[in-house]
Amino acid sequence: MGNWFVNHWFSALIIVAWLGLNIFLFVYFYYFYELGPQFYYTRIILGSALAWARASAACLNFNCLLILLPVCRNLLSFLRGSCLCFRRTLRKQLDKNLTFHRWVAYMIALHTVIHIIAHLLNAEWFNDSQQATDESLGAVLSDLGDVDNETFVNPIRKEDITPTYFAFTTIAGLTGVIITLALIVMITSSTEFIRRSYFEVFWFTHHLFVIFFAGLVIHGVGRIVRAQTSTSMQEHDAMFCQNRTKDWGNITECPLPQFAGGEPGTWKWVLAPMILYVFERILRFIRSLQQVMITKTVVHPSRVLELQMKKKGFHMEVGQYIFMNCPSISQLEWHPFTLTSAPEEEFFSVHIRSMGDWSESLLNTYGTERKAGVEQTALPRIAVDGPFGTASEDVFDYEVSVLIGAGIGVTPFASILKSVWYKFSHSDSNLQTKKIYFYWLCPEPSAFEWFADLLRVLEMQMEEQGKASFLTYKLFLTRSDNNLTAHVMVHFDKETDIVTGLKQKTYYGRPNWDNEFKILTETHPRSIIGVFLCGPEGLAKTLKGCCTAYSSVDPRKVQFYFNKENF
């Protein structure tokens, strides 16, 4: 438990606070409607379903306030640059924005189900009371409002109206149906399979949030839930008058009760995040119109496309990412890519592996290598939004940093290692990091080629600066054939690796992470170690487990902090 606490205490605190606020709001509003005297007559008709509907509505308002904030990329990047107090802890939470976005969405779905079930029951009981022919209090209350000097509490005004007809002909009912359908489509189209295989389906359906929020704001305009007015409560005591229905309006003590619908309040909850998100989209649109000049394109082995670009006013930090759009391929699709250039370079670059229709089209479009200075007007236009901050920005905030990339997941670390090279070239003595370990896992030998040149230059640079021990790297070939194995064994005695041409020999198979973390713990027994991953969830789960197992709550001993790229 103590080891888990090192990496997760603040995340747990946020989740507990969020759940606590949801529970508080639900309980508070449940008892407000269940015990409030102004709703006494409404409860006579509806029972506790009223409280269930309104309590879940309060939680819906709260979570709809939160749902847009984690996807405001510019807001999060601004906060990353402003979190100076508890910097490392706070910034780690910002990297979990999409996880929190999903959790909030699930909470919205849960309270939507509760809200719908409660209101379906309410509609049935409103209808039953309207159709009742006895002299029960519910039937008398439902008859109120039939003449000019009366106000109603039961919104179903005619005996022949069914609950279904009521749901599709009132503002509350119709908007409720629309926002529920929008929510169902958004959630079901957000699965990983849909996002990866049919991105445009995900993109289009997720923009139903515009209809969702519009319906949410309008939903309460009909004022379906009605309560006895405060003036009426002073003149008409429900406890005294409830058994004197025949005397209502005829005696001074029991005038006819007056009812009014509650003020719509959802807009008060969602207005601020909606304004923030509108500004976010305006800023993205302005950035998308800014000119991007492609200075060089290179096709690397394993169908990896490198684009080097320039854009006026573009400033980046290590490990950041951008969103790219190519209108000639798709007007709507924006894809995130980690920057592989260093802040010290005059251009910014990305490496894109062909993995789907969009990236394949991009590779075919820019597949011919073009050197700097070549006329660029013939190239299709590229739009760039960003840069945005990620976990890898914090790599130089740790005494020891462990960088782990899987396949094309090496891209953020290309930026970091290039920046290290520039810092040592200019004898930067302000570098807090004293040691970097770099692990790269690749399925095929050709995937190493585009990155090997950078590592080769770093090897030479470290030796010239007398800092050969600063960077330790291990390359793992996770898939190999018999011919390659035989070839390696024949040339095993060569000074450089037969696969990469580097002095560090390539490992075959997957790393034993327990052994690697044991070595790190023994080598740096009193250090704070940052572990940075850009790779699949399965590997992330393994590394999280190792960070937990080998961390100590004692600040005088080793502590591992896990960070993963999320965008």
Considering the domain boundaries, does residue 410 fall inside one? no
At residue 411's C-alpha, the angle toward residues 406 and 413, to 5°, is: 90
Contact 513, 542 (CB under 8 A): yes
Q: Are residues 59 and 147 in the same domain?
A: yes
The torsion angles phi and psi of 481, rounded to 5 degrees, stand at -105, 170
Q: Assign 250 to helix, strand or coil.
A: coil
Per the rule left: phi > 0, alpha: psi between -120 and 50, beta: everything else, 483 is alpha
10-21 exposure pattern, b = at least 16 Cβ within 10 A, e = fewer: eeeeeeeebeee
Considering the domain boundaries, does residue 540 fall inside one? no
Q: Are residues 222 and 317 in the same domain?
A: no
Q: Are residues 262 and 136 in the same domain?
A: yes
Q: Are residues 276 and 324 in the same domain?
A: no
Q: Are residues 41 and 175 in the same domain?
A: yes
Closest CA to 339 of 330, 348, 347: 348
pLDDT value of residue 373: 43
Q: Which residues pair with 561 in a beta bridge?
A: 530
Contact 434, 402 (CB under 8 A): no
Question: CA–CA separation, 228 vs 236, rounded Å?
Answer: 9
With 0-12 / 13-18 / 19 or more C-beta atoms within 10 angstroms meaning exposed / middle / buried, residue 433 is: middle
Q: Which of 231, 253, 282 is the last residue of a domain?
A: 282
Considering the domain boundaries, does residue 484 fall inside one? no
Contact 565, 390 (CB under 8 A): yes
Please give the tally of structural domains in the chain: 3
Q: Are residues 93 and 27 in the same domain?
A: yes
Q: Are residues 326 and 200 in the same domain?
A: no
Considering the domain boundaries, does residue 36 fall inside one? yes
pLDDT value of residue 50: 92
511-528 exposure pattern, b = at least 16 Cβ within 10 A, e = fewer: bebeebbeebbeebeebb
Considering the domain boundaries, does residue 416 fall inside one? no
Contact 561, 6 (CB under 8 A): yes
Considering the domain boundaries, does residue 449 fall inside one? no
Instruction: Name the residue with tokens 């090279």.
Output: 421
Q: Are residues 311 and 217 in the same domain?
A: no
Q: Are residues 64 and 45 in the same domain?
A: yes
Q: Residues 6 or more apart from 6 whose CB is under 8 A from it? A: 547, 548, 551, 552, 553, 559, 560, 561
Q: Assign 300 to helix, strand or coil.
A: strand
The torsion angles phi and psi of 105, rounded to 5 degrees, stand at -60, -40
Q: Which of 282, 300, 320 is the last residue of a domain?
A: 282
Length of the chain equals 567
Question: CA–CA separation, 339 vs 320, rounded Å?
Answer: 6
Per the rule left: phi > 0, alpha: psi between -120 and 50, beta: everything else, 158 is beta
Rounded to the nearest angstrom, the gap between the alpha carbon of residue 148 and the centroid of all alpha carbons in its chain is: 53
Instruction: Name the residue with tokens 């009193």.
Output: 526
Flag residues of the chain having pLDDT under 50: 1-2, 84-86, 369-376, 483-493
Range of the domain at 381: 290-388
Considering the domain boundaries, does residue 450 fall inside one? no
Q: Are residues 266 and 300 in the same domain?
A: no
Integer angstrom CA distances of residue 379 from 294, 303, 326, 372: 8, 19, 11, 13
State the chain's maximal CA–CA distance in angstroms: 109
pLDDT value of residue 74: 83
pLDDT value of residue 392: 75
Contact 349, 341 (CB under 8 A): yes
pLDDT value of residue 181: 94
The enclosing domain of 350 has a CATH number of 2.40.30.10
Residue 59 C-beta-side C-alpha neighbours within 13 Å: 30
Q: Which of 257, 282, 307 is the last residue of a domain?
A: 282
Please state the pTM of the whole predicted model: 0.80
Q: Which two tokens stand for residue 554?
A: 């004692």
Q: Which residues pair with 335 in a beta bridge?
A: 324
pLDDT value of residue 560: 86
Considering the domain boundaries, does residue 427 fall inside one? no
Q: Are residues 273 and 308 in the same domain?
A: no
Contact 168, 161 (CB under 8 A): no
Q: Are residues 319 and 238 in the same domain?
A: no
